[in-house]
């Protein structure tokens, strides 16, 4: 069967693989039903409880997001080992069954495809960022925000990415220099249902990556419950965070708890898992959390 084929390497270098049609039709329908049941959040980049960093301006992220496994809130500055590990990853909902099956397949492919030196001990894809790409309504105009600037994923080990909807132009780039912009080293169109798997020194540690643009040719609009936003691509990025660095909300430091409290309350109105996370110890959770969260 197609799902058992080895990944295709689009370059002569090891550590980068692309698998078209990794999610076949029947599986895709089940996964999409799961994804469309999620209620993504709009997050602001920085905490409302702390002074802004020097020369920084508060801003909303370009797109709504959802996380599974653990939630890396932007205002906690994401996960950046070895220093940035404390109070960065807040325990979140486990994978629904359709995604758990995909994860098992991706982990098996990674273990067959990568050298042992590129797979940390206990590595598994236990965190997933769900990014919703599309256009934002600003007044009477729709503004296309379907892009991501160059960055690196700092979680150890290979990264797996699955795309749904319109295809996206994904690029690996060198770092910017004083003499000019980043140089494109390799680019790949990510198709609906495709898997991209990358890791190792070159593709994950040395180079940056970005989503340069997302097409509109198919006219895709996913019925995602986000007011003032049209979604034409949904991307799932799976990574590994050591379990010692995943913290239940109740065990966060006081500052971090305050930073994400409004987000957790918003999530708790929609998710029994987050309602339980907010419930005082020894008390059953209800869906009576009072929320005053902007932009959800």
- CA–CA distance, 207 with 184 (Å, rounded to integer): 10
Q: Which of 165, 208, 207 is nearest to 190 (CA)?
A: 165
Is 124 contained in some domain? Answer: yes
Lowest mean pLDDT among 6-10, 99-103, 119-123, 127-131: 6-10
| Res 60: pLDDT | 93
pLDDT digits (tens, 9 = 90+) for 71-84: 999 999 999 999 99
| Res 285: pLDDT | 52
Quote the longest CA-to-CA distance of the chain: 60
Please say if the pLDDT value at position 3 is more than 50: no
Please say if the pLDDT value at position 295 is more than 60: no
pLDDT digits (tens, 9 = 90+) for 42-63: 999 999 999 999 999 999 999 9
The b/e string for 11-28 (b: 16+ C-beta within 10 A; e otherwise) is eeebbbbbbeebbeeebb
| Res 292: pLDDT | 37
Lowest mean pLDDT among 14-23, 50-59, 172-181: 172-181
- Collapse the DSSP code of 252 into the 3-class scheme (helix H, G, I; strand E, B; otherwise coil) and give the result: coil
The confidence band for 191, taking pLDDT boundaries of 50, 70 and 90, is: very high
Please say if the pLDDT value at position 109 is more than 80: yes
Is 290 contained in some domain? Answer: no
The confidence band for 225, taking pLDDT boundaries of 50, 70 and 90, is: confident
Burial tier of 290 (Cβ tally within 10 Å: 0-12, 13-18, 19+): exposed
Please say if the pLDDT value at position 195 is more than 60: yes
Lowest mean pLDDT among 11-20, 78-87, 205-214, 261-270: 11-20
Backbone angles phi, psi at 195, to 5 degrees: -115, 135
CATH number, domain with residue 222: 2.60.120.590
Distances (CA, A) of 276 to 36, 67, 219, 262: 22, 17, 39, 15
Is 275 contained in some domain? Answer: no
Please say if the pLDDT value at position 231 is more than 80: yes
E strands, the chain, in order: 16-19, 65-68, 70-71, 89-91, 127-138, 141-144, 148-151, 159-165, 168-173, 184-190, 195-198, 208-214, 229-239, 246-247
Q: Are strands 16-19 and 89-91 parallel, antiparallel or unpaired?
A: unpaired
Decide if 79 contacts 154 (C-beta within 8 A): yes
Mean pLDDT within 194-201? 96
Structural domain total, the chain: 1
The rounded mean pLDDT for the chain is: 90
Domain that holds residue 189: 2-249
Is 142 contained in some domain? Answer: yes
| Res 4: pLDDT | 43
Please say if the pLDDT value at position 266 is more than 80: yes
Is 287 contained in some domain? Answer: no
Dump the DSSP string for 87-103: T-EEE-PPPPHHHHHHH
Q: Apex CA 81: angle with CA 128 and CA 63, to 5°?
A: 40
Decide if 41 contacts 271 (C-beta within 8 A): no
- Collapse the DSSP code of 189 into the 3-class scheme (helix H, G, I; strand E, B; otherwise coil) and give the result: strand
Is 164 contained in some domain? Answer: yes
In the chain, the percentage of residues whose pLDDT exceeds 90 is 84
Is 280 contained in some domain? Answer: no
| Res 97: pLDDT | 96
The confidence band for 260, taking pLDDT boundaries of 50, 70 and 90, is: very high
Is 76 contained in some domain? Answer: yes
Residues in contact with 103: Cβ distance below 8 Å, sequence separation at least 6, in sequence order: 95, 124, 125, 238
Helix axes 25-36, 97-113, angle to 10 degrees: 120
């Amino acid at each position: 069967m197609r799902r058992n084929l080895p990944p295709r390497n689009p370059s002569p270098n090891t550590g980068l693989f692309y698998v078209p049609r990794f999610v076949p039709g029947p599986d895709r329908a089940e996964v999409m039903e799961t994804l469309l049941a999620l209620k993504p959040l709009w997050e602001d980049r920085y905490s409302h409880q702390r002074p802004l960093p020097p020369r920084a301006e508060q801003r909303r992220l370009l797109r709504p997001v959802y996380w599974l496994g653990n939630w890396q809130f932007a205002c906690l500055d994401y996960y950046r080992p070895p220093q940035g590990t404390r109070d960065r990853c807040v325990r979140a909902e486990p994978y629904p069954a359709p995604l758990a099956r995909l994860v098992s397949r991706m982990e098996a492919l990674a273990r067959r495809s990568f050298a042992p030196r590129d797979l940390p001990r206990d590595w598994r894809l236990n965190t997933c960022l769900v990014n919703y790409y599309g256009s934002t309504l600003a007044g009477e105009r729709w503004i296309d925000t379907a892009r991501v600037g160059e960055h690196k994923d700092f979680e150890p080990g290979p990264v797996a990415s699955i795309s749904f909807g319109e295809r996206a132009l994904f690029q690996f780039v060198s770092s910017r220099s004083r003499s000019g912009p980043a140089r494109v080293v390799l680019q790949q169109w990510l198709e609906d249902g495709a898997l991209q798997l990358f890791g190792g020194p070159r593709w994950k540690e040395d180079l940056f990556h970005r989503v340069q643009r997302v097409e509109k040719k198919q006219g895709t609009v996913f019925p995602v419950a986000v007011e003032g936003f049209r979604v034409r691509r949904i991307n799932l990025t799976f990574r590994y965070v050591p379990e010692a660095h995943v913290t239940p909300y109740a065990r966060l430091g006081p500052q971090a708890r305050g930073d994400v409290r409004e987000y957790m309350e918003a999530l708790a109105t929609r998710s029994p898992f987050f309602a339980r996370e907010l419930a005082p110890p020894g008390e059953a959770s209800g869906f009576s959390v009072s929320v005053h969260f902007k932009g959800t």
